[in-house]
């Protein structure tokens, strides 16, 4: 009788002792610091509760998108996937991921900056922990030697002033090419780095009210002026069209480097207090920079959406955002998270980059057609660098983008403005 009673008690205890339900997660394989930070966040979540267990699988970055597409076709996607934020609308449109509402409570994401959110047609589909920002790097001593002022958030360089500064630096004979624009980079760099120049001039890659109209924005007078400004940098030999390497700033061969905050740690170590980071030039409407990096979403086929949402809510707590920034050096996407870091807290030595993200950041167009947009814009800039007039190059980009949108039936956006169609 006593033996039977013990067995009965054990049976009642089974649900309590049951193993946690596994939540499969895919992410792209990246640098050691980011991978270690990701594993640590997962371990903290798994230790914090006993209901769910996140299990990570790293996929080579070169085949990551193809792996997601292939897995989706055979309904083998994991519950949680990492995505580069500009691709989120395409993943949503293709049906790979689901809206995060009501799974993720609004309070969990209320404090996130623009760079911490991924949307499509007004709905939230992804959240992230960190961002990178664009900045104009130089050295205080080098600027002072030429009598050039240091630009500030209160008084950035105007586009015209910046060109004059570059011309003065070249004329000094100290710099053959005074500005490095990462000319060896390919792909997304061009839209990330230079479409903010369009936004600073008051125009854009596409009309964000309807995500269908490109003509009259990407090729209007303001856009053409930006394109010609870009082309003149090469024509006046202020920027090297095809750099031999990517070490010009480190080696003192350029006065300025326009690049991302992924260089902050390296440049801070090399130059110390001599390093200055300034806003990008102002084309009339204030400096602008690209926003958002890799983020997390929940797949439509996920059988444990509640567990996946619990993990995402964990990731965007101030404590986890702060930990991710401390581990990687990347810019946190909430004020509360920044306050928990040495570098980005108020008064921290890298606080400026957080302020750039808060004040200047603009996410790339939230359209499934963005990859085609980015490709067309990259081609236009390549043509401009090679001597084609900006008006012609941008007209060709407009035609290519609008053709892509029409071929895909507007990517779910209604024909007459607004954001029609099913989510």
Q: How many domains does the chain have?
A: 2
60 and 148: one domain?
no
300 by DSSP, 3-state: which? coil
pLDDT of residue 16: 52
Verify that 34 and 167 share a domain, yes or no: no
Q: Residue 242 has which token pair?
A: 């095809």
Q: Give the pLDDT of residue 282.
A: 99
In this structure, the answer to whether residues 379 and 339 fall within a common structural domain is: no
Neighbours of 136 (CB within 10 A): 20
Round to whole Å and give the CA distance between 153 and 291. 17
Residue 147 lies in a domain: yes
72 within a domain of the structure (yes/no): yes
Same-domain status, 125 and 152? no
Residue 188 and residue 232 share a domain: yes
At residue 416, the pLDDT reads: 43
Indicate if 342 and 300 belong to the same structural domain: yes
Identify whether residues 306 and 393 lie together within a single domain. Answer: no
User: Using CA atoms, how far apart are residues 237 and 26, in angstroms rounded to an integer?
Assistant: 45
**pLDDT for the residue 374:** 98
∠ CA 366-226-380, rounded to 5°: 65
Given this model, what pLDDT does residue 2 score? 47
The pLDDT of residue 5 is: 44
Query: Is the residue at 418 inside a domain?
Result: no
- Is residue 3, in this structure, part of any structural domain at all? no
Q: Do residues 319 and 340 lie in contact, with contact meaning Cβ atoms separated by under 8 Å?
A: yes
Q: Same structural domain for residues 206 and 222?
A: yes
Same domain for 185 and 231? yes
Specify if 412 maps to a domain: no
Q: Summarize pLDDT for 51-88 with one digit per residue, the tens.
A: 999 999 999 988 998 999 899 999 999 999 999 999 99
How far is 274 from 203, CA to CA, in rounded Å?
35
Instruction: Kindly report the length of the chain.
Output: 423
Query: In terms of DSSP bridges, do strands 21-28 and 52-59 run parallel, antiparallel, or are they unpaired?
Result: parallel
Chain mean position to CA 92 = 17
Low-confidence ranges of the chain (pLDDT < 50): 1-2, 5-14, 416-423
Share of the chain residues as helix, strand and coil, in percent rounded to the nearest 5: 45, 15, 35
Q: 141 and 187, same structural domain? A: yes
Q: Residue 61 has what pLDDT? A: 87
CATH of the domain at 180: 3.40.190.10
Same domain, yes or no, for 41 and 92?
yes
Cβ-Cβ contacts under 8 Å for 415 (sequence gap 6 or more): 212
Q: CA 289 to CA 134: how far, in whole Å? A: 6
The reply to whether 37 and 111 lie within a common domain is yes
Q: Is residue 423 part of a domain?
A: no
CA 377 – CA 253 distance, rounded (Å)? 29
Q: Report the distance separating Cα 406 and Cα 415, nearest Å.
A: 10
Domain membership flag for residue 207 = yes
pLDDT tens digits for 86-144? 999 999 999 999 999 999 999 999 999 999 999 999 999 999 999 999 999 999 999 99
Residue 264, CB half-sphere, CA atoms under 13 Å: how many?
22
pLDDT of residue 10: 46
SS3 139: strand
pTM above 0.85, yes or no: yes
Residue numbers of the domain that contains 227: 134-289+370-407
Any domain includes 86: yes
Measured distance CA(403)–CA(215) in Å, rounded:
11
């Amino acid at each position: 009788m006593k033996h039977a009673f013990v067995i009965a008690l054990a049976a009642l205890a089974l649900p309590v002792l049951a193993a946690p339900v596994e939540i499969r997660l895919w992410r792209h394989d990246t640098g050691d610091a980011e991978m270690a930070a990701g594993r640590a966040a997962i371990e903290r979540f798994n230790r914090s509760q006993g209901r769910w267990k996140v299990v990570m699988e790293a996929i080579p970055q070169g085949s990551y998108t193809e792996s997601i597409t292939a897995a989706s076709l055979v309904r083998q996607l994991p519950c949680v996937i990492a995505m580069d934020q500009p691709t989120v609308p395409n993943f949503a449109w293709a049906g790979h991921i689901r809206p995060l509402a009501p799974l993720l409570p609004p309070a969990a994401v209320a404090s996130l900056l623009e760079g911490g959110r991924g949307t499509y047609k007004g709905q939230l589909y992804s959240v992230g922990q960190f961002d990178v920002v664009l900045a104009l790097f130089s050295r205080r001593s080098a600027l002072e030697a030429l009598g050039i002022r240091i630009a500030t958030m209160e008084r950035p360089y105007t586009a015209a002033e910046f060109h004059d500064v570059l011309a003065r630096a070249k004329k000094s004979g100290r710099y053959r090419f005074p500005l490095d624009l990462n000319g060896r980079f390919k792909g997304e760099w061009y839209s990330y780095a230079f479409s903010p120049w369009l936004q600073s001039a008051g125009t854009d890659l596409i009309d964000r009210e309807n995500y269908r109209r490109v003509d009259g924005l990407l090729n209007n007078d303001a856009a053409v002026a930006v394109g010609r400004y870009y082309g003149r940098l090469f024509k006046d030999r202020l920027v090297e069209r095809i750099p031999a390497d990517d070490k010009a700033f480190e080696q003192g061969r350029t006065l300025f480097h326009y690049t991302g905050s992924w260089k902050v740690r390296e440049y801070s170590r090399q130059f110390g207090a001599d390093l200055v980071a300034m806003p990008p030039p102002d084309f009339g409407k204030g400096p602008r920079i690209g926003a958002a990096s890799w983020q997390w979403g929940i797949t439509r086929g996920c059988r444990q959406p509640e567990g996946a949402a619990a993990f995402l809510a964990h990731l965007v707590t101030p404590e986890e955002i702060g930990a991710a920034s401390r581990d990687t050096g990347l810019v946190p996407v909430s004020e509360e998270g920044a306050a928990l870091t040495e570098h980005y807290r108020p008064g921290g030595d890298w606080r400026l980059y957080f302020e750039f993200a808060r004040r200047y950041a603009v996410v790339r167009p939230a359209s499934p057609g963005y990859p085609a947009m980015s490709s067309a814009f990259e081609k236009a800039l390549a043509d401009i660098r090679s001597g084609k007039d900006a008006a012609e190059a941008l007209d060709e980009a407009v035609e290519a983008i609008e053709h892509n949108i029409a071929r895909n039936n507007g990517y779910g956006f209604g024909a007459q403005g607004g954001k029609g169609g099913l989510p």
